[in-house]
Amino acid sequence: MTLNLSVDIDKNSGYCFGVVEAINKAENELDKGVELYCLGDLVHNDEEIKRLKKKGIKIINKETFNNLTNKNVLFRAHGEPPETYKQAADNNIAVVDASCPIIKKLQQKIKDSYKNNENIVIYGRPNHPEVIALNGQIDHNGIIIQNKDEIDFDKIPQKITLYSQTTQSLDGFYELLRSLQNAGKEVKVKDTICRTVSNRRAELENFCKNYHKILFVAGKRSSNGKVLFEVCKNVNPNSFFISKLQDIDQNWFDPEDRIGVAGATSTPKWLMEKVKEHLESI
């Protein structure tokens, strides 16, 4: 039986401009026939990585990078700490720098604060590449806090400057700020959350209200994807997280359902289009 599903793609979902620029830089090099390596996954989306690998990009880890010489290596949108650039120079590596301009500005701000002898606290995931790169600007002396509930206030200096990973929750940032202030800390606030990302919360909330079911498409390792999927679930409990077409279960849907398809800032439009085509064929 044909389900006759009605499917719309959220027009605000998909790559942010930083990711678009990174992929464009990669494809420009590959189209010129350059042998191109990428330090870490260019985006946290396995389907897009598969596509880029078919075009010739070679994904490498830090250990392989450290032993590489005389090659072309792309640094992804998340940015890299200073020691990575030094290693590239030492190994005669030509860097294709795809660091997001917003993150580059943030790196400079955090560096300036450190030079002014400020105690830096970063709201973010300790193992996220953007946070590692940020902390690298200040000789890895920042205090990383992922969740306000995990704060050890005794280890936080009395006077601090609070920064954020660009893709963190705006609400979470200000909850953390209130917790620090309530504990008597003197906080200089540097709200460095990317509004391109944070504005999507309200846009996504409005989108999810209009459909029986939501399919949220993102890579399993996408930090932004996890945050935005929770937004979907809170507004529309009938929201399902998928990373690829094979994750779709036909039993989720009823005949004549209106389906909304949305994605993270690392989700390619072409993948959402494929999901739409698949749903319309059920």
Cα–chain center distance at 262: 15
- Catalytic-residue membership of 130: yes
Alpha helices in the chain (DSSP H): 17-31, 46-55, 62-66, 82-90, 101-115, 129-136, 170-182, 195-208, 223-235, 269-281
Q: Which of 47, 130, 150, 277 is catalytic?
A: 130
209 neighbors 184 (Cβ within 8 angstroms): no
* Complete DSSP assignment for 215-281: EEE--TT-HHHHHHHHHHHHH-SSEEEESSGGG--GGG--TT-EEEEEE-TT--HHHHHHHHHHHHH
Whole-angstrom distance, CA of residue 218 vs CA of residue 111: 32
User: Which residues fall within 8 angstroms of residue 5, CB to CB, at 6 or more apart?
Assistant: 253, 256, 257, 258, 259, 279, 280, 282
Written as six digits, the tokens of 157 are: 């200096």
Cα 269 to Cα 281: distance, rounded to the nearest angstrom? 19
**Residues that are catalytic:** 130
